[in-house]
Amino acid sequence: MENILVTGATGNVGRQVVSQLLATDVRVRVMARSPESAGLPRQVEVVRGDLTVPTALDRCLDGVDAVFLVWCAPATAVAPGVAQIVKHARRIVFLSNLTVRDGIEEQAYPVTTLHAKIERLIEVSGVRWTFLRPGAFASNARIWWAPQVRAGDVVRWPYPGAVTSPIHERDIAAVAVRALCEDGHAGAKYILTGPQSLTHRDQVRTIGDAIGRPLRFEEIPPEAARREMATIMPASIADMLLDAWQNVEYAGSATVGKPAPVTPTVAEITGVPARSFRDWAVDHAVEFQQ
Ligand SMILES: NC(=O)c1ccc[n+]([C@@H]2O[C@H](COP(=O)([O-])OP(=O)(O)OC[C@H]3O[C@@H](n4cnc5c(N)ncnc54)[C@H](OP(=O)(O)O)[C@@H]3O)[C@@H](O)[C@H]2O)c1
Protein backbone atom coordinates (compact mmCIF):
# COMPACT_ATOMS: atom_id res chain seq x y z
CA MET A 1 0.00 0.00 0.00
CA GLU A 2 1.32 3.44 -0.99
CA ASN A 3 1.93 6.08 1.68
CA ILE A 4 0.96 9.56 0.59
CA LEU A 5 1.80 12.78 2.42
CA VAL A 6 -0.56 15.70 1.88
CA THR A 7 0.67 19.20 2.65
CA GLY A 8 -1.69 22.18 2.78
CA ALA A 9 -4.30 19.73 4.08
CA THR A 10 -6.20 22.36 6.04
CA GLY A 11 -6.55 24.50 2.91
CA ASN A 12 -9.05 24.59 0.06
CA VAL A 13 -7.47 22.00 -2.19
CA GLY A 14 -5.51 19.88 0.30
CA ARG A 15 -8.58 19.18 2.43
CA GLN A 16 -10.33 17.85 -0.68
CA VAL A 17 -7.29 15.81 -1.66
CA VAL A 18 -7.36 14.16 1.77
CA SER A 19 -11.04 13.36 1.59
CA GLN A 20 -10.79 11.94 -1.94
CA LEU A 21 -7.66 9.90 -1.11
CA LEU A 22 -9.57 8.30 1.76
CA ALA A 23 -11.86 6.71 -0.84
CA THR A 24 -8.85 4.94 -2.42
CA ASP A 25 -6.59 2.21 -1.05
CA VAL A 26 -3.62 4.37 -0.03
CA ARG A 27 -2.46 5.34 3.45
CA VAL A 28 -2.84 9.09 4.05
CA ARG A 29 -0.54 11.17 6.21
CA VAL A 30 -0.89 14.89 6.63
CA MET A 31 1.62 17.55 7.59
CA ALA A 32 0.04 20.21 9.78
CA ARG A 33 1.53 23.11 11.66
CA SER A 34 -1.16 22.76 14.34
CA PRO A 35 -2.40 19.15 14.40
CA GLU A 36 -4.71 19.88 17.36
CA SER A 37 -6.81 22.33 15.33
CA ALA A 38 -6.43 20.77 11.86
CA GLY A 39 -9.95 19.26 11.94
CA LEU A 40 -9.04 16.31 9.74
CA PRO A 41 -10.76 12.90 9.53
CA ARG A 42 -9.77 10.34 12.18
CA GLN A 43 -8.48 7.84 9.59
CA VAL A 44 -5.66 10.25 8.70
CA GLU A 45 -2.28 10.25 10.39
CA VAL A 46 -1.52 13.86 11.29
CA VAL A 47 2.15 14.75 11.83
CA ARG A 48 3.32 18.12 13.05
CA GLY A 49 5.51 19.85 10.47
CA ASP A 50 6.30 23.15 8.88
CA LEU A 51 7.79 23.72 5.43
CA THR A 52 10.00 26.45 6.87
CA VAL A 53 11.68 23.98 9.25
CA PRO A 54 13.34 21.47 6.91
CA THR A 55 15.02 19.47 9.68
CA ALA A 56 11.61 18.72 11.18
CA LEU A 57 10.26 17.50 7.82
CA ASP A 58 11.93 14.09 8.17
CA ARG A 59 9.30 12.76 10.55
CA CYS A 60 6.56 13.81 8.10
CA LEU A 61 8.38 12.30 5.14
CA ASP A 62 9.67 9.07 6.67
CA GLY A 63 8.34 6.09 4.67
CA VAL A 64 6.38 8.24 2.24
CA ASP A 65 6.06 7.26 -1.43
CA ALA A 66 4.34 10.33 -2.83
CA VAL A 67 3.76 13.93 -1.74
CA PHE A 68 1.02 16.38 -2.63
CA LEU A 69 2.85 19.68 -2.29
CA VAL A 70 1.13 23.01 -1.63
CA TRP A 71 3.58 25.83 -1.05
CA CYS A 72 2.25 28.76 1.01
CA ALA A 73 5.46 29.24 2.99
CA PRO A 74 8.00 32.03 2.35
CA ALA A 75 10.26 31.82 -0.71
CA THR A 76 13.39 31.68 1.46
CA ALA A 77 12.40 28.20 2.64
CA VAL A 78 11.94 26.73 -0.85
CA ALA A 79 15.41 25.33 -1.57
CA PRO A 80 15.97 23.52 1.76
CA GLY A 81 12.34 22.39 1.94
CA VAL A 82 12.21 20.92 -1.55
CA ALA A 83 15.64 19.31 -1.07
CA GLN A 84 14.31 17.50 1.98
CA ILE A 85 11.14 16.36 0.23
CA VAL A 86 12.91 14.95 -2.85
CA LYS A 87 15.23 12.93 -0.57
CA HIS A 88 12.24 10.88 0.57
CA ALA A 89 9.50 10.93 -2.07
CA ARG A 90 9.50 9.03 -5.37
CA ARG A 91 6.60 11.04 -6.74
CA ILE A 92 5.52 14.67 -6.22
CA VAL A 93 2.33 16.32 -7.36
CA PHE A 94 2.84 20.06 -6.99
CA LEU A 95 0.06 22.66 -6.91
CA SER A 96 1.54 25.36 -9.14
CA ASN A 97 -0.45 27.93 -11.13
CA LEU A 98 -1.52 28.84 -14.63
CA THR A 99 0.63 31.94 -14.91
CA VAL A 100 3.91 29.97 -14.90
CA ARG A 101 5.58 30.18 -18.32
CA ASP A 102 8.06 27.55 -19.45
CA GLY A 103 11.49 28.43 -20.73
CA ILE A 104 11.72 32.01 -19.47
CA GLU A 105 13.72 33.44 -16.59
CA GLU A 106 11.53 36.44 -15.73
CA GLN A 107 8.07 35.37 -14.63
CA ALA A 108 5.28 37.94 -14.44
CA TYR A 109 4.53 37.97 -10.70
CA PRO A 110 6.29 37.04 -7.42
CA VAL A 111 4.04 34.02 -6.83
CA THR A 112 4.75 32.87 -10.39
CA THR A 113 8.48 33.21 -9.81
CA LEU A 114 8.10 31.19 -6.61
CA HIS A 115 6.15 28.41 -8.32
CA ALA A 116 8.51 28.35 -11.32
CA LYS A 117 11.45 27.96 -8.92
CA ILE A 118 9.78 25.09 -7.09
CA GLU A 119 8.93 23.39 -10.41
CA ARG A 120 12.56 23.71 -11.53
CA LEU A 121 13.94 22.25 -8.30
CA ILE A 122 11.57 19.30 -8.54
CA GLU A 123 12.31 18.75 -12.25
CA VAL A 124 16.06 18.52 -11.75
CA SER A 125 15.75 16.29 -8.69
CA GLY A 126 15.02 13.10 -10.64
CA VAL A 127 11.74 12.24 -8.86
CA ARG A 128 8.59 11.57 -10.88
CA TRP A 129 6.52 14.73 -10.89
CA THR A 130 3.25 16.18 -12.06
CA PHE A 131 2.55 19.91 -11.99
CA LEU A 132 -1.00 21.13 -11.60
CA ARG A 133 -1.37 24.62 -13.01
CA PRO A 134 -4.86 25.80 -12.16
CA GLY A 135 -6.26 29.21 -12.99
CA ALA A 136 -8.41 31.18 -10.55
CA PHE A 137 -9.98 29.14 -7.78
CA ALA A 138 -13.76 29.43 -7.35
CA SER A 139 -13.01 29.56 -3.62
CA ASN A 140 -11.51 33.04 -4.05
CA ALA A 141 -15.14 34.22 -4.03
CA ARG A 142 -15.44 33.16 -0.40
CA ILE A 143 -12.40 35.18 0.69
CA TRP A 144 -13.24 38.20 -1.44
CA TRP A 145 -17.01 38.45 -1.13
CA ALA A 146 -18.49 36.26 1.63
CA PRO A 147 -18.03 38.87 4.40
CA GLN A 148 -19.76 41.53 2.26
CA VAL A 149 -22.59 39.18 1.24
CA ARG A 150 -23.19 38.08 4.82
CA ALA A 151 -23.42 41.77 5.78
CA GLY A 152 -25.74 42.92 2.98
CA ASP A 153 -26.80 42.73 -0.66
CA VAL A 154 -23.99 44.78 -2.20
CA VAL A 155 -20.58 43.59 -3.32
CA ARG A 156 -18.09 46.42 -3.75
CA TRP A 157 -15.26 45.25 -6.01
CA PRO A 158 -13.17 46.51 -8.95
CA TYR A 159 -13.34 45.48 -12.60
CA PRO A 160 -16.86 44.03 -12.98
CA GLY A 161 -16.03 42.81 -16.48
CA ALA A 162 -12.75 41.02 -15.68
CA VAL A 163 -13.03 37.35 -16.63
CA THR A 164 -11.74 34.08 -15.22
CA SER A 165 -12.81 30.45 -15.56
CA PRO A 166 -13.12 29.62 -11.85
CA ILE A 167 -12.32 26.04 -10.91
CA HIS A 168 -13.89 24.08 -8.06
CA GLU A 169 -11.35 22.85 -5.48
CA ARG A 170 -12.87 19.37 -5.77
CA ASP A 171 -11.84 19.20 -9.43
CA ILE A 172 -8.25 20.24 -8.73
CA ALA A 173 -8.19 17.62 -5.99
CA ALA A 174 -9.67 14.96 -8.28
CA VAL A 175 -6.85 15.52 -10.79
CA ALA A 176 -4.30 15.51 -7.95
CA VAL A 177 -5.58 12.17 -6.67
CA ARG A 178 -5.29 10.61 -10.14
CA ALA A 179 -1.74 11.93 -10.47
CA LEU A 180 -0.84 10.66 -6.98
CA CYS A 181 -2.36 7.20 -7.37
CA GLU A 182 -2.09 6.27 -11.06
CA ASP A 183 0.79 5.82 -13.49
CA GLY A 184 0.77 7.86 -16.67
CA HIS A 185 1.01 11.37 -15.25
CA ALA A 186 4.78 11.70 -14.83
CA GLY A 187 6.18 14.80 -16.50
CA ALA A 188 2.72 16.30 -17.13
CA LYS A 189 1.92 19.97 -16.63
CA TYR A 190 -1.84 20.15 -16.39
CA ILE A 191 -3.51 23.50 -17.06
CA LEU A 192 -6.76 23.30 -15.10
CA THR A 193 -9.76 25.60 -15.36
CA GLY A 194 -13.45 25.55 -14.67
CA PRO A 195 -15.86 24.96 -17.57
CA GLN A 196 -16.95 28.54 -18.22
CA SER A 197 -15.50 32.03 -18.56
CA LEU A 198 -17.31 34.38 -16.18
CA THR A 199 -16.97 38.03 -15.27
CA HIS A 200 -16.81 39.17 -11.67
CA ARG A 201 -20.33 40.49 -12.12
CA ASP A 202 -21.52 37.06 -13.42
CA GLN A 203 -19.97 35.35 -10.41
CA VAL A 204 -21.62 37.66 -7.90
CA ARG A 205 -24.96 37.18 -9.67
CA THR A 206 -24.50 33.39 -9.51
CA ILE A 207 -23.83 33.53 -5.78
CA GLY A 208 -27.01 35.58 -5.35
CA ASP A 209 -28.96 32.90 -7.25
CA ALA A 210 -27.46 30.15 -5.09
CA ILE A 211 -28.44 31.86 -1.85
CA GLY A 212 -31.82 33.10 -3.14
CA ARG A 213 -31.00 36.79 -2.64
CA PRO A 214 -30.26 39.21 -5.51
CA LEU A 215 -26.85 40.86 -5.08
CA ARG A 216 -25.79 44.19 -6.55
CA PHE A 217 -22.26 44.67 -7.89
CA GLU A 218 -20.91 48.12 -7.10
CA GLU A 219 -17.70 48.95 -8.94
CA ILE A 220 -14.96 50.61 -6.90
CA PRO A 221 -11.77 52.18 -8.26
CA PRO A 222 -8.58 50.07 -8.20
CA GLU A 223 -6.84 52.28 -5.63
CA ALA A 224 -9.67 51.84 -3.12
CA ALA A 225 -9.84 48.15 -3.97
CA ARG A 226 -6.14 47.73 -3.34
CA ARG A 227 -6.50 49.13 0.17
CA GLU A 228 -9.41 46.82 0.97
CA MET A 229 -7.83 43.77 -0.68
CA ALA A 230 -4.62 44.24 1.31
CA THR A 231 -6.65 43.57 4.47
CA ILE A 232 -7.64 40.07 3.27
CA MET A 233 -4.58 38.95 1.25
CA PRO A 234 -0.86 39.70 0.89
CA ALA A 235 -0.24 43.02 -0.90
CA SER A 236 1.76 41.24 -3.62
CA ILE A 237 -1.27 39.06 -4.45
CA ALA A 238 -3.58 42.10 -4.49
CA ASP A 239 -1.20 43.84 -6.92
CA MET A 240 -1.02 40.76 -9.13
CA LEU A 241 -4.80 40.41 -9.30
CA LEU A 242 -5.38 44.11 -10.00
CA ASP A 243 -2.77 44.05 -12.74
CA ALA A 244 -4.28 40.94 -14.34
CA TRP A 245 -7.84 42.30 -14.19
CA GLN A 246 -6.80 45.66 -15.57
CA ASN A 247 -5.12 43.98 -18.52
CA VAL A 248 -8.22 41.93 -19.22
CA GLU A 249 -10.67 44.77 -18.87
CA TYR A 250 -9.18 48.09 -19.84
CA ALA A 251 -5.61 48.17 -20.94
CA GLY A 252 -6.18 47.76 -24.64
CA SER A 253 -4.43 44.39 -24.57
CA ALA A 254 -5.28 41.55 -26.94
CA THR A 255 -7.39 39.97 -24.20
CA VAL A 256 -9.94 42.80 -23.89
CA GLY A 257 -13.47 41.50 -24.43
CA LYS A 258 -12.25 37.94 -24.89
CA PRO A 259 -13.39 35.07 -22.68
CA ALA A 260 -10.92 33.53 -20.26
CA PRO A 261 -9.35 30.28 -21.46
CA VAL A 262 -11.17 27.03 -20.68
CA THR A 263 -9.31 23.72 -20.83
CA PRO A 264 -10.81 20.21 -21.08
CA THR A 265 -8.15 18.73 -18.77
CA VAL A 266 -10.31 17.99 -15.71
CA ALA A 267 -12.69 15.88 -17.81
CA GLU A 268 -9.83 14.24 -19.71
CA ILE A 269 -8.06 13.13 -16.52
CA THR A 270 -11.02 12.29 -14.28
CA GLY A 271 -13.64 11.26 -16.83
CA VAL A 272 -16.08 13.72 -15.25
CA PRO A 273 -16.78 17.24 -16.57
CA ALA A 274 -15.44 20.10 -14.49
CA ARG A 275 -17.98 21.48 -12.03
CA SER A 276 -19.51 24.87 -12.80
CA PHE A 277 -19.21 28.00 -10.68
CA ARG A 278 -22.93 27.55 -9.97
CA ASP A 279 -22.11 24.08 -8.52
CA TRP A 280 -19.44 25.70 -6.36
CA ALA A 281 -21.81 28.46 -5.19
CA VAL A 282 -24.47 25.90 -4.23
CA ASP A 283 -21.89 23.75 -2.39
CA HIS A 284 -20.76 26.82 -0.42
CA ALA A 285 -24.03 28.76 -0.14
CA VAL A 286 -24.11 28.49 3.64
CA GLU A 287 -20.86 30.46 3.89
CA PHE A 288 -22.55 33.44 2.19
CA GLN A 289 -25.76 33.33 4.16
CA GLN A 290 -26.56 35.90 6.87
N1 LIG B 1 -6.39 31.16 -5.28
C2 LIG B 1 -6.15 30.96 -6.56
O3 LIG B 1 -6.91 31.45 -7.43
C4 LIG B 1 -4.99 30.12 -6.97
C5 LIG B 1 -4.82 29.82 -8.34
C6 LIG B 1 -3.74 29.02 -8.71
C7 LIG B 1 -2.83 28.55 -7.76
N8 LIG B 1 -3.03 28.87 -6.44
C9 LIG B 1 -2.05 28.38 -5.44
O10 LIG B 1 -2.68 27.45 -4.58
C11 LIG B 1 -1.97 27.45 -3.33
C12 LIG B 1 -2.97 27.63 -2.20
O13 LIG B 1 -3.83 26.50 -2.15
P14 LIG B 1 -5.10 26.50 -1.21
O15 LIG B 1 -6.00 27.65 -1.57
O16 LIG B 1 -5.66 25.13 -1.23
O17 LIG B 1 -4.43 26.79 0.20
P18 LIG B 1 -5.02 27.67 1.40
O19 LIG B 1 -6.48 27.41 1.55
O20 LIG B 1 -4.55 29.08 1.20
O21 LIG B 1 -4.27 27.03 2.64
C22 LIG B 1 -2.87 27.12 2.79
C23 LIG B 1 -2.34 25.81 3.34
O24 LIG B 1 -0.91 25.87 3.44
C25 LIG B 1 -0.53 25.52 4.75
N26 LIG B 1 0.68 26.22 5.13
C27 LIG B 1 0.87 27.56 5.17
N28 LIG B 1 2.13 27.83 5.59
C29 LIG B 1 2.73 26.63 5.81
C30 LIG B 1 4.01 26.25 6.25
N31 LIG B 1 4.95 27.16 6.58
N32 LIG B 1 4.30 24.93 6.36
C33 LIG B 1 3.36 24.00 6.07
N34 LIG B 1 2.12 24.29 5.64
C35 LIG B 1 1.81 25.60 5.52
C36 LIG B 1 -1.72 25.91 5.63
O37 LIG B 1 -1.67 25.15 6.78
P38 LIG B 1 -1.97 25.71 8.27
O39 LIG B 1 -3.23 25.01 8.69
O40 LIG B 1 -0.80 25.27 9.04
O41 LIG B 1 -2.11 27.19 8.16
C42 LIG B 1 -2.89 25.52 4.72
O43 LIG B 1 -3.17 24.14 4.83
C44 LIG B 1 -0.98 28.61 -3.39
O45 LIG B 1 0.31 28.13 -3.71
C46 LIG B 1 -1.54 29.47 -4.50
O47 LIG B 1 -0.57 30.29 -5.11
C48 LIG B 1 -4.08 29.64 -6.02
- Report pLDDT digits (tens) over 26-79: 999 999 999 999 999 999 999 999 999 988 899 999 999 999 999 999 999 999
CA of 84 to the centre of ligand 1 (A): 19
Strand partners, 160: none
Dist. CA 159 → ligand 1 center (Å): 25
Nearest to 53 by CA among 68, 35, 32, 67: 32
pLDDT, residue 197, reads 96
The answer to whether the CB of 18 is under 6 A from ligand 1 is no
pLDDT tens for each residue of 101-116: 999 989 989 999 999 9
Ligand 1 contact via 197 beta carbon (within 6 Å): no
Q: What separation in Å is there between the alpha carbon of 70 and the centre of ligand 1?
A: 6
Percent of the chain with pLDDT over 70: 98
Distance (Å) from CA 254 to ligand 1 centroid = 31
Please determine whether the domains at 3-134 and 140-165+195-260+273-288 fall in the same fold group of CATH. yes
Q: Which fold has domain 3-134?
A: Rossmann fold (3.40.50)
The CATH H-level superfamily of 140-165+195-260+273-288 is NAD(P)-binding Rossmann-like Domain (3.40.50.720)
Dist. CA 239–CA 133, nearest whole Å: 20
How large is the average pLDDT for residues 106-133? 96
Query: How many whole angstroms from 236 Cα to the centroid of ligand 1?
Result: 15
Q: Which residue owns the Cα nearest ligand 1 atom 36? A: 8
Closest CA to 213 of 285, 107, 127, 116: 285
Quick check: CB of 52 below 6 Å from ligand 1?
yes
Average pLDDT of the chain is 95
For residue 30 and ligand 1, the question of a CB distance below 6 A is answered with no
Would you state the pLDDT for residue 253? Answer: 58
Residue 252 predicted with pLDDT over 80 = no
Mean pLDDT, range 161-180, rounded to an integer:
97
Helices in the chain by DSSP H: which ranges?
12-21, 58-61, 78-88, 110-123, 140-151, 169-181, 200-211, 222-229, 235-249, 265-270, 277-283
Domain boundaries, the chain: 3-134, 140-165+195-260+273-288
- Whether ligand 1 lies within 6 angstroms of the CB of 112 is answered as no
Per residue in 4-14, pLDDT (tens digit) is 999 999 999 99
Instruction: Indicate yes or no: pTM above 0.95.
Output: yes
Which atom belonging to ligand 1 lies closest to the Cα atom of 51?
32
Q: Does the beta carbon of 71 lie inside 6 Å of ligand 1?
A: yes
What is the sign of the dihedral through the CA atoms of 97, 286, 19 and 55?
positive
200 CA → ligand 1 middle, Å = 23
Distance CA 71, CA 94 (A): 8
pLDDT(257) > 90: no
CA of 225 to the centre of ligand 1 (A): 23
Atom of ligand 1 lying closest to residue 32 CA = 40
Q: Identify the residue whose C-alpha is closest to ligand 1 atom 25.
A: 8
215 Cβ contact list (under 8 Å, min separation 6): 149, 153, 154, 155, 204, 205, 207, 208
